[in-house]
Amino acid sequence: MNIVLLGPPGAGKGTQAIRISAHFDIPHISTGDIFRRAVAQKTALGLKAKEFMDRGDLVPDEVVIGIVKQRLEEPDCSTGFLLDGFPRTVPQAEALVDALTVGGRALDKVLNIEVDRDELIRRLTGRRTCRGCGKVFHLIFDPPKSSTTCDICGGALWQREDDSEETVINRLKVYEAQTAPLVDFYRAQGLLVAVDGRQPVEVVFSRIDEILHA
């Protein structure tokens, strides 16, 4: 099962990806997570990506494409994968087709998680992540018992720098300009399935489960 999760920042891609990945036993590949890890470890990739991420702009295609291509060649992707946050531009989507075609693979479905703008801003500005285990909370929609500590592991909760309201506004603009065209791109190929992302997490997941079993 080769799946792409599409949707604006804050739509719930990461939240659903964890569930899909566990349920269907396919690796979850989040380019955002790969970049954040590289930034934290101060690798060459991290240093390159950081300035773009801090502004809420996209990391250049040539950087992202190389990383994803490499990741898709790893053995755990041979029976399926779930891409979260990639592709985000038409050139990335075209590079993905090429990379998969070489190995005789293709995408099975593209799930487009739809959420309106006001809700996206609420979700992004209230997002908190655990430094210890990586669990993602929301101060209102999935509140931790304490706003500073993880319920699961006791780790410190932090707010992504790019989740400040100012950067969020830019990320939504960047999404409209560069990523939204992928909706038509995948619709034209008959791969797109729309998912109403405004529902509660478990309702969204059962809809996705239904779609992927169909």
Crossing angle of helices 31-40 and 61-72, in 10° steps, is: 100
Longest Cα–Cα distance of the chain, Å, equals 49
SS3 2: strand
Question: Which residues, numbered 71-130, are part of the site for ligand ADP (CB under 6 A)?
Answer: 85-86, 88, 92, 123, 126-127
Does the footprint of ligand ADP cover residue 12 (CB under 6 A)? Answer: yes
Does the footprint of ligand ADP cover residue 53 (CB under 6 A)? Answer: yes
Residue 6 interacts, among Zn ion, ligand ADP, none and using kind-specific CB cut-offs from 5 to 8 Å, with: none
* Amino acid letter, 119: E
Does the footprint of Zn ion cover residue 208 (CB under 5 A)? Answer: no
Task: Give the separation between CA 187 and CA 124, rounded to whole angstroms.
Answer: 27
Taking phi first (over 0 means left), then psi (-120 to 50 degrees means alpha), and beta for anything else, what does residue 25 get?
A: left
Q: Which of 51-59, 70-78, 151-159, 185-193 is the region at the interface with ligand ADP (rule: CB under 6 A)?
A: 51-59
Cβ-proximal residues to 58 (8 Å cutoff; 6+ apart), any chain: 52, 64, 88, 89, 174, 178
Task: Give the separation between CA 20 and CA 110, rounded to whole angstroms.
Answer: 13
105 given a catalytic annotation: no
Tally the residues of the chain.
214
Site string for ligand ADP, 123-162 (x = CB under 6 A): x--xx--------xxx--xx-------------------x
In the complex with ligand ADP, which residue's Cβ is closer, 21 or 92? 92
DSSP states of 107-138 as a string?
Answer: --EEEEEE--HHHHHHHHHTEEEETTT--EEE
Residue 58 interacts, among ligand ADP, Zn ion, none and using kind-specific CB cut-offs from 5 to 8 Å, with: ligand ADP
127 given a catalytic annotation: yes
Does the footprint of ligand ADP cover residue 52 (CB under 6 A)? Answer: yes
19 given a catalytic annotation: no
* Site residues for Zn ion per CB under 5 A: 130, 132-133, 135, 150, 152-153, 155
* Site residues for ligand ADP per CB under 6 A: 7, 9-15, 31-32, 35, 52-53, 56-59, 64, 85-86, 88, 92, 123, 126-127, 136-138, 141-142, 162, 171, 200-201, 204
Q: Which residues are catalytic?
A: 13, 88, 127, 160, 171
